[in-house]
Amino acid sequence: MLTLEKFEEAAEKVRQVTQETKLIYSAYYSEATGNRVWFKPENMQRTGAYKVRGAYYKISTLTDEERSRGLITASAGNHAQGVAYAAQKFGVKATIVMPTTTPLIKVERTKAYGADVVLAGGVYDEACEHAYRLADQHGYTFIHPFNDLTVATGQGTIAMEIVQELPLVEYILVPIGGGGLATGVSALAKLLNPNIKVIGVEPAGAACMKASFAAGEVVKLDHANTIADGTAVLEPGDKLFPHLRDNLDDIVTVEDDELIVAFLDMVENHKTVVENSGLLTVAALSHLGVRDKKVVSILSGGNMDVITMSSVVQRGLIMRDRIFTVSVLLPDRPGELVRVAETVANSNGNVIRLDHNQFVCANRNAAVELRLTIEAFGHDHKYQIVQALKDAGLETEIIQTQL
């Protein structure tokens, strides 16, 4: 595997089940980073992620007997949907083991493709152990989500499409969970043009590949803690590690807070929903340390449940100082509340929550507390509003916003 011939074979196969995901030029991120930035929107695939590529190609290489036994895999969601969709296309049974923390939208969509879903374990690695046990018990054919060179070859077809559309690409940013996507993309990119820099991106709370690179061998983390659930992997694939060591030019890690801000930026500037793992490469754009380069960020998926989406948006607004909360102390007498409201309104602030506490002080004539959550345009506007309240003679303090 991982030869140009196999990549070409895989590219022909995956065209049967993939949508065309043309590169999208980002004027916003190009200006912000000083590079020319494009996105490869795999979040627009039929299953909402790139994983269908590797799953379909892998299943296409199985014998009739292997497929007839039924398929099984473990996945945090995107590979699950890829296998379920591919199995449906081949008319075979699929059982998917998913961590209990998997977003509901991924569970329901996997079931919608006709697969049987089993929830087990808190993270992918625990779900995978359970899937292996079921495979042994029932004789299922196991389709590994990443530690399989055939699967990685299917995923790598993304690089062929990138280079065909942007032949002079200089940097490709690819998310890393277990390493399947990064293995395929980096191997094919180097085959097509050894000068292309391929940068892997991991969440800081689950950086198993970076730890393995530092140790010179595969390392298993004690735990993973990240909102990027699709890349919350404790141990990278041992079959993939030698190829990644040869082909990846660097690994960048990003914090969860960076993913939250990236989600907000993508929704506002590109009107597109990308899940947290897919945002790794977007957040990493500010870490490259280069300018005037042609850069492609792979958006690996867009399967995000609405509750998570709502939480991320709210936190992003707070981090960008577009929502903030102040505590204002004022005497308990008629007209004081109006004075506060007028001061905020005259500063073009918008009150979205108000809590009036008359019992903050034993002497109500001395002070009651008003907590206002206010919508602003950003950092500078926030402090203009706060200063206006202080200038009005109001004792004002910025406090933590409670969602």
Q: Does residue 186 share a domain with residue 128?
A: no
Q: Which amino acid is at 177?
A: G
As a whole number, the mean pLDDT across the chain is: 93
pLDDT band for position 46 (50/70/90)? confident
Measured in whole angstroms, the distance separating CA 301 from the mean position of its chain's CA atoms is 7
Q: Does residue 92 share a domain with residue 205?
A: no
Q: Does residue 105 share a domain with residue 42?
A: no
Per-residue pLDDT tens over the stretch 219-245: 999 988 999 988 988 999 999 999 999
Q: Does residue 161 share a domain with residue 268?
A: yes
Q: Does residue 136 share a domain with residue 92?
A: yes
Torsional sign, CA 209, 210, 211, 213: positive
Give the domain extent around 333: 321-399
Average pLDDT score over residue span 350-366: 76
Rounded Cα distance between 159 and 54, Å, is 13
Torsional sign, CA 183, 184, 185, 186: positive
Which of the residues 75, 277, 300, 347 is marked catalytic?
A: 300
Joined together, the tokens standing for residue 179 give 């390493």
Question: In terms of pLDDT, which residue wins out, 368 or 111?
Answer: 111
Q: Does residue 95 share a domain with residue 173?
A: no
Q: Does residue 242 share a domain with residue 193?
A: yes
Per-residue pLDDT tens over the stretch 249-303: 999 999 999 999 999 999 999 999 999 999 999 999 999 999 999 999 999 999 8
Q: Does residue 201 share a domain with residue 296?
A: yes
Tally of helices (H runs) and strands (E runs) in the chain:
16, 14
Rounded Cα distance between 216 and 245, Å, is 9
| Residue 142 pLDDT greater than 90, yes or no | yes
Rounded Cα distance between 247 and 174, Å, is 12
User: How many domains does the structure of the chain reveal?
Assistant: 3
Domain boundary residue, one of 142, 160, 190:
142
51 in active site: yes
Strands 141-142 vs 116-119: parallel, antiparallel or unpaired: unpaired
214: Cβ contacts below 8 Å, ≥ 6 apart: none
Q: Contact at 8 Å (CB) between 151 and 180?
A: yes
Comparing C-alpha atoms, which of 376, 389, 370 is closest to residue 319? 376
301: Cβ contacts below 8 Å, ≥ 6 apart: 42, 43, 48, 49, 50, 51, 78, 230, 274, 275, 277, 278
Q: Does residue 293 share a domain with residue 172?
A: yes
Domain CATH number, residue 94: 3.40.50.1100
pLDDT at 361: 66
Domain boundary residue, one of 92, 112, 142:
142
| Residue 360 pLDDT greater than 60, yes or no | yes
Q: Does residue 103 share a domain with residue 15?
A: no
Q: What percent of the chain has pLDDT over 90?
A: 82
Comparing C-alpha atoms, which of 198, 229, 190, 224 is closest to residue 102? 229
Which of the residues 40, 51, 210, 382 is marked catalytic?
A: 51
Coil/strand/helix, residue 40: strand
Joined together, the tokens standing for residue 154 give 């299917």
Per-residue pLDDT tens over the stretch 54-93: 999 999 999 999 999 999 999 877 899 999 999 999 999 9
DSSP state letter for 43:
G
pLDDT at 321: 94
pLDDT band for position 366 (50/70/90)? low
Q: Does residue 181 share a domain with residue 80?
A: no
Q: Does residue 296 share a domain with residue 167?
A: yes
Domain boundary residue, one of 95, 126, 142:
142
pLDDT at 236: 94
pLDDT at 306: 85
DSSP state letter for 301:
B
**Over 204-265, what HEC string results?**
HHHCHHHHHHHHCCCCCCCCCCCCCHHHCCCCCCCCCHHHHHHHCCEEEEECHHHHHHHHHH
Joined together, the tokens standing for residue 277 give 């793992």
pLDDT at 232: 86
pLDDT band for position 112 (50/70/90)? very high
Domain CATH number, residue 358: 3.30.70.260
26 in active site: no
| Residue 381 pLDDT greater than 90, yes or no | yes
> Residues 280, 281, 282, CA angle at the centre, nearest 5°?
90
